[in-house]
Structure 1
């Protein structure tokens, strides 16, 4: 298979994936994840994600290269000092959010007369939730029909933090309910995965760990 034919085949598969994933699904509840460890200077630490739910919905734009979902999750941290050191100082940060991946970013669609067919946004499609947007490079065009060409770029993974919280000794948590995520300009499958990260710092050591949820396709 030559390069042009291979590019056309990849584009066709990507557009087919868009069509199959366009309909909204039901909410998917995810199992909790937890990890416990002892820091280098003896603190007992744990990080967990619970109450995770992904509610896929049809995009308001009704554009097949867009996805929308409402995400819920809770991240919980615990920090217990070494034996006999109840007054020892410790600071930390608890972060929770989602990683979003798109196989193929759609940059532009152009007809034979050179008019743009409406793939908007600065620098092409991106991921948005409280502001962040992807800045993408443009790759060579793939000719789909004699009168239609599609410009696509390689896939991209974007990390969006829903919340960050300063923590100390004891238990702390951050909860997101129905957080909104929208993905625009993606001509292939869209995958999301939750994460929760705990970073700690004491006069003697910095430490940290994380847990990750299951991959969900929108």
Structure 2
């Protein structure tokens, strides 16, 4: 278990108080201005090679992704331990060939895998305070300046850290009876907590093709993006 200590020193600040300047109002919008164009996904990533499986009974399974985007966004909770992403992607699968068994449909599940380099566990806070006396300064006439007292404060934070983990976030799962299922994801926001280090994200899509007495499974793994 890794441990990190962060110490913050508290200080007293005195500032003169005065009237704040008046804020200027925003100018009215121009009714003749053209609306901003839709620039599309802001975090596009290339798609990886498709996952392909040739079954023992003669079917060929394929699953792939396209039009993928994974954009890190600010956490809604503003927590330094949270990671949020805005994701897009289209994941398709096909079952082809002339197998010796009768197809009975299956499922296509698409989602994301998020890895954290370091996982935050427990946080312990310790605050201390005290009074520090000043030193009298002798003057020419033999008198002393009065002794002053100063306030001091200290804050210590103890954070327990653990080795990284991988979080699997399923987004969509489609049961199908045909041979060409699809799952499309647009503008979906995913979030994980407790991530203290660098994070990594990639898409996945898992195809399960069934017959009367078999299940064949093949997975597509997208390109990993480090954030």
Tell me the TM-score normalized by structure 2. Answer: 0.64
Q: Does 1:206 align with 2:215?
A: yes
> Which range moved further: 174-183 or 162-171?
162-171
Equivalent residue runs for 1:118-157 within 5 Å: 147-157=156-166
Flag as ranges the 4+ runs of structure 1 deviating above 6 A. Answer: none
Q: Deviations over 1:119-145 (max 9, x none)?
A: xxxxxxxxxxxxxxxxxxxxxxxxxx9
Pick aligned residue for 2:188 from 179, 182, 188? 179
> Which range moved further: 146-155 or 166-175?
146-155
Q: Is the 8 A contact 1:90 1:200 kept in 2?
A: yes
- The residue number in structure 2 matching 1:20 is none
Q: Deviations over 1:26-69 (max 9, x none)?
A: 51332253133321111222111111101121223333222211
- The residue number in structure 2 matching 1:159 is 168
**Secondary structure of residue in 2 paired with 1:72:** strand
- The residue number in structure 2 matching 1:82 is 98
Q: Equivalents in 2 of 1:206, 1:148: separation in Å? A: 51
Q: Does 1:217 align with 2:211?
A: no
Q: Equivalents in 1 of 2:192, 2:169: separation in Å? A: 12
Q: Is the 8 A contact 1:32 1:52 kept in 2?
A: no
Tell me the TM-score normalized by structure 1. Answer: 0.66
Q: Does 1:34 align with 2:43?
A: no
Q: Is the 8 A contact 1:40 1:205 kept in 2?
A: no
Whichever structure has more helix as a proportion of its residues is 1
Decide which structure has the larger Cα Rg and report it: 2
Superposition CA RMSD, Å:
2.7
Q: Equivalents in 2 of 1:153, 1:36: separation in Å? A: 36
Unaligned runs of 5+ in 1: 13-25, 115-144
- The residue number in structure 2 matching 1:97 is 111
Q: CA deviation at 1:148?
A: 2.4
Q: Equivalents in 2 of 1:203, 1:40: separation in Å? A: 14
